[in-house]
Amino acid sequence: MILVTGGTGLVGSHLLFELASEGRPLRALRRQGSNISLVRQLFLWYDPVRGQELFDAIEWVEGDLTDLFSLQEAISGVSQVYHCAAVVSFLPQDREVLLRNNVDGTANLVNLALSDNIEKFCHCSSVASLGVAPRGEMVDESLVWKTSGDHSWYAISKYGAEREVWRASEEGLPVVIVNPSVVIGPGDPARSSAQLYQSVKNGMKFYTSGVTGFVDARDVARCMRLLTEGDFLNERYIVNSENLPYKDLFTYFALYSGSRPPKYRAGRFLSEMAWRLEKTRSFITGQKPLLSKETARNANLKRYFSNKKICQALGIRFRPVEEAAKNTSRFFNKYPIFLSPDFRVPL
């Protein structure tokens, strides 16, 4: 039996489909009240014939990374664990939630995996946990994290989570770690990287000059399965297809969703103004800001990620980012209900 955490999220749902299609027996952790209707639709999107049957074969168990007893039940009788659950937020006020769920939650899971003698533990980390390279330099797996005020709490929490996994590996847990760049695919458009699609669809007018790595969710899932099932131990792998300007991704989304691409470049000055205005609005209204200092500044950075190690290990050819954007847009063109908050009513 295989346990997948974060199965209702963008990465986890694609991983569930990847593993289910290969006939693996699956148990998926979901929190009380979390919605699985998008996961079911994804299964049908990728496999109209067998999708329902593959989805029905998943054993869903209720639990939370912060609740040790629920994890204990979820992991019992399991031989492999894929850990995709995490809080993804760039809001500084989510600091505590990020540290509790991502760092402490991962510590809970690896400790149980150690005591249950799990055969292989695949951890979904992030390029955020690699640290920041000197300007313009290509980042690879050897980059050493340096503490600085430039890191978001999300990055710090993902770094802390990855450290817990390395600690468990030193204590005897066989692990493999993936560090995906920005993941593109159909997912809940209210959270994680799936929000980028929603912004373009909503008619976002501005783009920034930043560059980063992007990767198709289907390729992340495939890499995770191949690394876990193969002979790869105690290593981390950047999972990235292409390094592109954000503007290119937005243009692909607009092209395939029938929207207008963002037209105006928001330079540093405008971005700095925007996050300050959002902070003020959030203070006055009590609502969460739509933009934080971290997101505004990251959107102007140029970051390049090497996929040499994973390509050499697996011989994989990544789908182009345009293909990922097309798949995402077509999914939402066909099922626009998932762009509305109505679908989040728990099933």
Ligand X SMILES: NC(=O)c1ccc[n+]([C@@H]2O[C@H](COP(=O)([O-])OP(=O)(O)OC[C@H]3O[C@@H](n4cnc5c(N)ncnc54)[C@H](OP(=O)(O)O)[C@@H]3O)[C@@H](O)[C@H]2O)c1
Quick one: which segment of 53-61, 183-191, 228-236, 242-250 binds ligand X (CB under 6 A)? 183-191
The count of chain residues that interact with ligand X, using the rule CB under 6 A, is: 32
Determine the Cα–Cα distance for residues 249 and 195; give it in Å rounded to an integer. Answer: 13
Is residue 180 within the footprint of ligand X (CB under 6 A)?
A: yes
Closest to ligand X by CB, 98 vs 266, is 98
Tell me if 92 sits within 8 A of 13, measured CB to CB: no
Is residue 9 within the footprint of ligand X (CB under 6 A)?
A: yes
Is residue 213 within the footprint of ligand X (CB under 6 A)?
A: no
Is residue 176 within the footprint of ligand X (CB under 6 A)?
A: no
Give the β-pairing of 264-265 and 138-139. unpaired
Neighbours of 232 (CB within 10 A): 19
Query: Directed axis angle between helix 321-334 and helix 246-257, to 10°?
Result: 40
* 181 closest CA partner among 137, 241, 227: 241
Closest to ligand X by CB, 29 vs 274, is 29
Quick one: which segment of 62-70, 163-171, 240-248, 252-260 binds ligand X (CB under 6 A)? 62-70
Closest to ligand X by CB, 72 vs 272, is 72
Is residue 193 within the footprint of ligand X (CB under 6 A)?
A: yes
Is residue 12 within the footprint of ligand X (CB under 6 A)?
A: yes
| Position among 51, 186, 187, 189 found at the interface with ligand X (CB under 6 A) | 187
Hey, is 167 helix, strand or coil?
A: helix
Determine the Cα–Cα distance for residues 229 and 219; give it in Å rounded to an integer. Answer: 15
Is residue 221 within the footprint of ligand X (CB under 6 A)?
A: no
Q: How far is the CB of 180 from ligand X (least distance, A)?
A: 4
* 29 closest CA partner among 55, 3, 54: 3
CA dihedral 201→255→219→184, nearest 10 degrees, is -20
x-marked contacts with ligand X along 73-102 as a string, rule CB under 6 A: -----------xxxxx------------x-
| Position among 27, 158, 201, 303 found at the interface with ligand X (CB under 6 A) | 158
194 burial level (CB within 10 Å; 0-12, 13-18, 19+): buried
Instruction: Write out the E strands in 11-107.
Output: 26-30, 59-62, 80-83
Is residue 189 within the footprint of ligand X (CB under 6 A)?
A: no
Closest to ligand X by CB, 279 vs 344, is 344
Closest to ligand X by CB, 30 vs 236, is 30
Determine the Cα–Cα distance for residues 229 and 209; give it in Å rounded to an integer. Answer: 39
- The residues, any chain, with a CB within 8 Å of residue 201's CB and separated by 6 or more, are 189, 253, 257, 259, 332, 339
CA dihedral 83→85→89→94, nearest 10 degrees, is -110
Is residue 126 within the footprint of ligand X (CB under 6 A)?
A: yes
Determine the Cα–Cα distance for residues 340 and 285; give it in Å rounded to an integer. Answer: 23
Is residue 216 within the footprint of ligand X (CB under 6 A)?
A: no
Q: How far is the CB of 200 from ligand X (least distance, A)?
A: 15
Determine the Cα–Cα distance for residues 98 and 91; give it in Å rounded to an integer. Answer: 10
| Position among 2, 3, 4, 8 found at the interface with ligand X (CB under 6 A) | 8
x-marked contacts with ligand X along 270-299 as a string, rule CB under 6 A: ------------------------------
CB-closest chain residue to ligand X? 9
Is residue 191 within the footprint of ligand X (CB under 6 A)?
A: yes
Residues lying near ligand X in the complex (CB under 6 A): 5-6, 8-12, 29-31, 34, 64-66, 84-88, 101, 105, 124, 126, 158, 180, 182-183, 187-188, 191-193
